[in-house]
Structure formats: C-alpha cells, structure tokens
Chains A and B, each alone.
Chain A
C-alpha cells in the first residue's frame, strides 16, 4: 500500500507523520512517501511567524474550530517534553486590539487565560479602544519542519524532491493513495476557483525586548491587513499585509513602507530594531479547508486522493487536527481493501 503525500509544508509533513504513526504498525505493507518541489526553509510555512491563532470568526466551519482545538491541545501536551525546543514550540502571551467592542472568538476557551484588556493596558495602544489578552503557543516553521522531516526520515519515510504534474503521474507509478497537501498551488493539480492566494509580506527584525505578540484588527480591511508584531525565538516578525488574488512572491517596496510605518506607530520601541530580512508568501486562502476524499478514475481503475489544503493564514494553528482527520479518511480507505495483499485491482 503506497501512500504519496504531495507537499512538504506543515500540512504535508504533519499528515505524513500522523499517518505513519497511526498505521505503520497495523499495515505492514504501508509505504509513505513525500513528494515536493519546495521544502524547508523555502515553504510558505517557513515564512509564517508560527503563532497559534485562528481567525476571529469561524466562518461557519465548526469542524475547523474542533481541528484548531485538537492542534492546540496536542501542542500543549508537548510543551513540557524535551522535544519542545527542537520543535520550535513555546508559550507566548499577547494582545489582540480593536477599535470597537467585538464578540469573543470561538477559541477563547482553547487558549490560556483569555480576558479583556483593562483601561490601563489600552493606554499602551492609542487608537485602540478594546482588546483581548491571552497566552497561546508559538510553533516556528523553521524549527518544526526540520523536526517533522527528521522524525519521518527516522521512520523510513522517503522524500523525493520533484514537482508532481498530476495525480495520474503518481498512480501510473503504482501509488495507491495520494494525499494532496499542495497548499496555494493545489489548483495546478486540479482547478479550484475557491482557492486564491492571500499574499503576505513580513519584515524580520531583531527586537529581543519585545516579549508579547500584538495583533491589531481593522474590521473593514480584513484579517492580517492590519499591523501585527510577533516575537519569535530569534527574530520578531512585523506584518500586516493580506492581498487576495495577488500571486506575486516578490517583496514590494510600498508594502514594506506600510508594514514598517504601521508597526512603528503601534510599538514605538521598534524604531530601534534592526531589519534582518524581508519575505513574501502566499497564504492558501479558501472559504473553508478542503479536507475530503476523492475517488479518481485511473484508466480502468479507481484510485484515491485525500485533499488537505486551503488553510489560509491558520495552517500551523489547525495542522494537527487536519492531519488526524486525513489519517481517519485513510483509515476508511484501508478498511475497504481486501484482506489479502495489495488493493484494487492491479493487472
């Protein structure tokens, strides 16, 4: 039983690991492979700051709230383990700021210590009259992806650096199940008008005195189009760009100016921060995550694709819940196979 995961961002690698952990012992013939043209540190997940925080509204996708919670609880459980540092996992507290009162988010009871901001705290942020404080988690892609890769390699999962052009290409090679974790470029394998890039740009600075994340919200301009500051273990990420439909991965000078000016206005201490790097990436934006099974025709045969893409700006936040859901779908597929030998039908 050959399972090929396409994509080596946080979604692809974590799905591969979840599947291997769950079924390796149960299905002796299981072979898991990862195919990707880009891997760490060049994936979208590597550019993200890594803060666990869902969008403000669940957009009606209750399933996603469950996956977010499963991810948070899973990571929280790993906090005290020796692996945490290597994973790039740590607790972080911080602020969400608004210009008017808003309803509490779906994740208020998932994070730790969620509360409203006091008037004195709001004095720190002129222009904002309402906000939240909570403790959440950071999972830095630059550490987590290599950690996942190592765990997978230790388990004997094979990696192939190549651009997969079609699902058929995989099936023709003898792959039984493809797990499609191709993120923003999923449309190249199968057109999906609901999937659009949400272009982001960030400035990485040295500002080790900043210990809190600060995320501002402008209800009019949409999520992540308002300045944010997220301190990592080494660098602090400044951002606030989310351009729907923009495929350009080049850094833009006007966006740089917007980010820098807005973040320095938000946190004057940043004026003294040294700029280290600039990065642009494309959030795989979709009205809801596509996490479902698709049976495709492969000549005279049937083959399976499990789609797991479209996680927008909350991939890290939701990744483990999705990985487990994808693994459950694979479980269903495995159960449908005849008891003896490889699956349907091979001439």
Chain B
C-alpha cells in the first residue's frame, strides 16, 4: 500500500510526543497533527510539567514505572544538552512534605528520580506543620517551550499541523488510514468515554525568581514548582468540575496555602491565574479500535486519560501508542495483500 496516512488528533504533550514517536519509528508514514487548540492554549500549558508520577489504580505498577523511566531517561538526556533551554527542560530539586507519615514511604518511582532520600530533621524544621518528607531531584518540562520544541521537531520532519475541531473520528476516514486519538479531556465528547472525567485544577503562575526549589505537599493539592521564568503554584483537584474560568476565592486560597509553605511568596509579582481540566481515568486508555461503516474501516489508536500524570509518562505512552500504530499498519498491509489475491 502507499505510505500510510496517520492523523494524530490533539496537540498537547500527549499528541505531539505521540506524533514524534510515530515519525521516529514509522519512517514510511505520513503524519498530520489536527487539533482544536495548540500551545499556549492546551491543558499541558496550564500544568507545571513536573516529573512526579500519578498512580493509576487500573494499571500494573511495573508498567507505570516503565513509562516513567522511559520518559525520565529521554528528558534527562535533553536536559543536559545545548537544547535544554529551548526545549524548556531543566532539573529541579526540592521536597515533598507530609503532615502525617504516609503508609508508603518509598513510592514506586523513588529510584528513577535522582538522589531520593527522607528529609533530615533540620530540613523538616522549615515545615513546622509537616512531620515527614522526601527530598529528591527531578525534571520539569516548561510549557509553552516544550510543546513549541516538539512542534519544531515535527515540522522539521515534514509533519503538517492544522487547527481543526474534529467532532467525530469517522469524519477522518476518507483522508486517513489511521487516527491516533490524543484528545485528552476532549475524548469525553469525541468518543463518548464516560469513564473519563475532568479533575479541575486552578494554578497561579507568578514571578518569584528567588524560588529555586520545589515544595509539594504529599496531599498533591498544594505545591510550588519553579519554572524557567515563572513559578507555578497551586492548586485544586475538583472532580467533575468542567469550569474553565478562574475563581477569585480559589486564587486567594491557593496563595495563602503556598505562602504558608514558602513565606517568601508574599513578594511574588505579576500573578497570572490559569485553569486546566486533568483528563482523569482509572487507567490511560492505550488501545486499538476498529471503526467501520458500510464495509469501510478506520483504524484508531487511543492514547488519552493521563489525568495528573501526563508529563510524567508521556514518552512511555507515546512509544506504546506508536507500537500500536505499527500493529495497525501491519494489519492494513495484511488486508491489502489479501485484497490483491
């Protein structure tokens, strides 16, 4: 058959990294990215992009660890290269602190990040309300830079990108052989996935360049993540809340909580408020599907539902999605040789 035509729908971190993996592993494919939104207007742009994994209840831990490890290794290499600043990737050290000692003192990813160890008594004194903590060094993907860097690499390989709202995957069947669905929270409407639900997050992006370390409360709701130009402080985890408008009461609450962890934030300037809907699910939907109508088939690979763990596992799930695309291509080639008989 002629070069398989692949459409990747969605241009957040998942869509762009998946498109890149497909290009890397299927040189014969023609890949196009279609998305209603591009950076700086994706959910990924709101996120801090910290590599601290979320645990998916529905996926075996060893699989999640593999995804995280692949992602960490990939970004680690970029962080130490001349491209790091353009790609927005940098190392950051800090602390995860707990008001009460957690049941699991060693998370599954503790040997993937760098220098993981329990905090010392002296370090904990800085957090009088917290009894236990972990210190480590991890990576941060700043957006928009990371997404723009992915877009640049895609364009360099000839991938076309179009702003387009896809309302039904089937509408792509005449132009493409394979569709990769990386629509994040958009999949709720696009494919009617009722297992996918938003977890609303509000964050503040502030100018506080003296903050060099991250601080995260183990409850995952209060955090301070220093990026290249701004510090992302947050947040909220509001299940089933679809509201994309910033809430002023929440802004004040976030600011107060973060100042109590890091008092110097009182001096933060130029506060920008953002809202994103984490595309949450028991497990990431990473699977193939065949759509058919009237004898015509459209092969689909789903890669969505990363919730609050998108950045942490993006490269790992992108590689898996690319593998599923290769399976689709093999299936198409099989079908096409049978058709020739």
**A residues engaging B (CB < 8 A)?**
79-82, 84-85, 88, 90-93, 112-113, 115, 117-118, 120-121, 124, 133, 135, 138, 207-212, 231, 233-234, 268-269, 271-273
- 20 CB < 8 A contacts A-B: A80-B126, A84-B264, A90-B210, A90-B211, A90-B264, A92-B213, A93-B93, A113-B117, A113-B135, A115-B117, A117-B115, A118-B115, A124-B91, A208-B209, A211-B91, A212-B212, A269-B81, A269-B90, A272-B82, A272-B86
Q: Chain B residues with Cβ under 8 A from A271's Cβ?
A: 82
Contact flag A208-B228 (CB < 8 Å), given A84-B264, A112-B123, A113-B135: yes
Q: Are A120 and B210 in contact (CB under 8 A)?
A: no
Q: For the complex, give the distance between the alpha carbons of A272 and B83 in Å.
A: 8
Q: Are B82 and A93 in contact (CB under 8 A)?
A: no
Q: Are A231 and B212 in contact (CB under 8 A)?
A: yes
Q: Are A209 and B226 in contact (CB under 8 A)?
A: no
Contact flag A91-B213 (CB < 8 Å), given A85-B267, A209-B84, A268-B80: yes
Q: Are B123 and A269 in contact (CB under 8 A)?
A: no
Contact flag A233-B210 (CB < 8 Å), given A112-B123, A118-B115: yes
Majority secondary structure of chain A interface residues (helix, strand, loop or mixed): mixed
Q: Chain B residues with Cβ under 8 A from A135's Cβ?
A: 93, 123, 213
Contact flag A268-B82 (CB < 8 Å), given A90-B212, A208-B228, A231-B212: yes
Q: For the complex, give the distance between the alpha carbons of A120 and B137 in Å.
A: 11
Q: For the complex, give the distance between the alpha carbons of A305 and B88 in Å.
A: 54
Q: Chain A residues with Cβ under 8 A from B114's Cβ?
A: 118, 120-121
Majority secondary structure of chain B interface residues (helix, strand, loop or mixed): mixed
Q: Taking the complex as formed, is B28 at the interface, i.e. its CB lies under 8 A from any CB of chain A?
A: no
Of residues 70 through 129 on chain B, the ones whose CB sits less than 8 Å from some CB of chain A are: 79-82, 84-86, 88, 90-94, 114-115, 117, 119-120, 122-123, 126
CB nearest neighbor in B for A114: B120
Q: Taking the complex as formed, is B229 at the interface, i.e. its CB lies under 8 A from any CB of chain A?
A: yes
Other CB < 8 Å A-B pairs besides A92-B213, A113-B119, A211-B212, 14 of them? A82-B263, A82-B267, A85-B210, A88-B210, A92-B212, A113-B123, A113-B135, A121-B137, A208-B228, A211-B91, A231-B212, A268-B81, A269-B79, A269-B80
Contact flag A210-B213 (CB < 8 Å), given A81-B263, A121-B137, A269-B85: no
Of residues 123 through 176 on chain B, the ones whose CB sits less than 8 Å from some CB of chain A are: 123, 126, 135, 137, 142
The residue among A82, A84, A113 with the most chain B CB atoms within 10 A of its own CB is A113
Q: Taking the complex as formed, is B41 at the interface, i.e. its CB lies under 8 A from any CB of chain A?
A: no
Q: Are B115 and A209 in contact (CB under 8 A)?
A: no
Of residues 215 through 269 on chain B, the ones whose CB sits less than 8 Å from some CB of chain A are: 226, 228-229, 263-264, 266-267
Q: For the complex, give the distance between the alpha carbons of A112 and B127 in Å.
A: 13
Q: Chain A residues with Cβ under 8 A from B79's Cβ?
A: 269
Q: Chain A residues with Cβ under 8 A from B119's Cβ?
A: 113
Question: Could you tell me the distance in whole angstroms from the C-beta of B85 to the nearest C-beta in chain A?
Answer: 5
Q: For the complex, give the distance between the alpha carbons of A115 and B126 in Å.
A: 19
4 shortest A-B CB distances, which residue pairs? A85-B267, A90-B210, A269-B84, A233-B210
Q: For the complex, give the distance between the alpha carbons of A120 and B81 in Å.
A: 16
Q: Are A233 and B91 in contact (CB under 8 A)?
A: no
CB nearest neighbor in A for B114: A121
Question: Could you tell me the distance in whole angstroms from the C-beta of A112 to the nearest C-beta in chain B?
Answer: 5
Q: Chain A residues with Cβ under 8 A from B213's Cβ?
A: 91-93, 135, 211
Q: Are A84 and B93 in contact (CB under 8 A)?
A: no
Q: Chain B residues with Cβ under 8 A from A211's Cβ?
A: 90-93, 212-213, 226
Q: For the complex, give the distance between the alpha carbons of A290 and B309 in Å.
A: 56
Contact of A79 among B117, B126, B266, B267 (CB under 8 A): B126
Q: For the complex, give the distance between the alpha carbons of A120 and B113 in Å.
A: 9
Q: Chain A residues with Cβ under 8 A from B135's Cβ?
A: 113
Q: For the complex, give the distance between the alpha carbons of A124 and B94 in Å.
A: 18
